Structure 1
């Protein structure tokens, strides 16, 4: 037997009348006249097939059928209210899950403040934070496995993606503390020409890698790369062991290793840029809200 579909307006009228047990009071609460209320209740009773109220002069009472329907009607209305509230929250970016990829070095700089500010404004949004180097973030944005990326040196050939700078900073030399130049406050790059370098592989951050090579070329040499490491913390650890030296964004100085010294470089003509990345056609309101939460890019 096919179940009757009960219109929500009729259920609402039924619940209000069940609470008031007075047609006049219920109609006033609903903001309608009494005859339309009576018609809605009668239509609902026709669908149920039984009277939901007993009507006697001066007295309205729930029947057994009405008492049975009342809890289910309240649940249906509450579920609808909850669903509408959830839909509004999702639609306005007040709730949901935001997937963010981030380069590990940015966990030392912009990421904590950005996430803290966003969570203060949108506490009901779940944040799915994924540590990724820059190139995989670009791929993940295209594959829609993340919503936003925080990466180093965004590429110039990604027309489907948009970028916003969130940090610019100079490069520093990363030296073992036993290195002869570690005693100086500023290191001339040309004096590193004979050193072995520990760098990120170009495939995980091509623009950043090329910037470092260009800095060395400006100083008159091509860096001799002895070792690659995917994360800056690993780069610093390998420098500490004496496998080589490196050039890194200045915020890497926040990695505290006893055997590593961070020194300003000369010439210091290049700044590395960190940016937020997202799909240009993105319709997710969570992304819009995150972009609005990002203030002016810091400079160091």
Structure 2
């Protein structure tokens, strides 16, 4: 059996009249004349199949059916008001859920400040944070499983994704503490020419991999990768175990591991940190995040 549709205006008119128990005062509260108010009440009574208010001797009173309907009508109207307010907050970017992918090394540098700033501005937004390297972030953005990515060395020439720089971080050499170069305050890139490198696989972060390979090429040699690891912490651990050296973003210096030394590289070079999002994405929370980050495009 189909349920009857009740216009919200009829329920609103009924609750106001039930509170005032006077057609004139109720009509004034509603901003309408008495005849339209009476018509709305009659339509509602027709839908219910019973009188909701008695009008004997000029006195208005709720009938048993009216007393039963009143709390239900109030809940419906209250739920509608709450739903509209919630929808408005989401539409304005003051509430909802924002899914963010981030490169693990950025948890040591950019990410904490970004999240604090955003939470301070928009406390009603639920943040869903997922750690992933750059390649998987790009895939997740295209698939719609994250809304925003925070990554290193974004690729160029893409039309479906947009990027904005939020930071630039210098590179450091990662060396075993026993390595002769660890005795120096800085390391020329050409001094690493004979070393095997420990790095993330290229498919996990192609832009960063190519950037480091470019630094080696500029120093006159081709980078030789002797070991891969999918996390920078693991890269450092493998370097400390003597399996090679690495060149990494400077934020990795905050990782404290026995047997590992970090030294500035010469010439000074920097890696680009960017926020990424889908072109044409109308999610207002994405715009809110960009505003909180204050990126330079």
The residue that corresponds to 2:176 in the other structure is: 176
The residue that corresponds to 1:12 in the other structure is: 12
> Take 2:247 and 2:221, find their aligned partners in 1: how far apart are those partners?
14
Q: Which runs of 5 or more residues in structure 2 are unaligned?
A: none
Give the 4+ runs in structure 1 shifted more than 3 A: none
> Take 1:46 and 1:195, find their aligned partners in 2: how far apart are those partners?
88
What is the deviation of 1:57? 3.3
- Contact residue 163 and residue 278 of structure 1 kept, 8 A: yes
Determine whether 1:98 maps to 2:120. no
The residue that corresponds to 1:291 in the other structure is: 290
- Contact residue 177 and residue 260 of structure 1 kept, 8 A: yes
Q: Which stretch shifts more, 112-121 or 51-60?
A: 51-60
Question: Residue 256 of structure 2: SS of its match in structure 1?
Answer: coil
After superposition, where does 1:206-217 map in structure 2 within 5 Å? Answer: 206-217=206-217
TM value normalised by structure 2? 0.95
Q: Which runs of 5 or more residues in structure 1 are unaligned?
A: none
The residue that corresponds to 1:196 in the other structure is: 196
What is the deviation of 1:58? 4.6
> Take 1:239 and 1:35, find their aligned partners in 2: how far apart are those partners?
85
Q: Count the aligned residue pairs.
A: 296
Question: Residue 230 of structure 1: SS of its match in structure 2?
Answer: coil
Q: CA RMSD in A?
A: 1.5
Determine whether 1:79 maps to 2:52. no
TM value normalised by structure 1? 0.94
The residue that corresponds to 1:89 in the other structure is: 89
- Contact residue 165 and residue 276 of structure 1 kept, 8 A: yes
What is the deviation of 1:161? 0.6
What is the deviation of 1:296? 4.6
The residue that corresponds to 2:276 in the other structure is: 277
What is the deviation of 1:41? 1.4
Compared CA separation, residues 2 and 162, structure 1 to 2 (3 A): closer
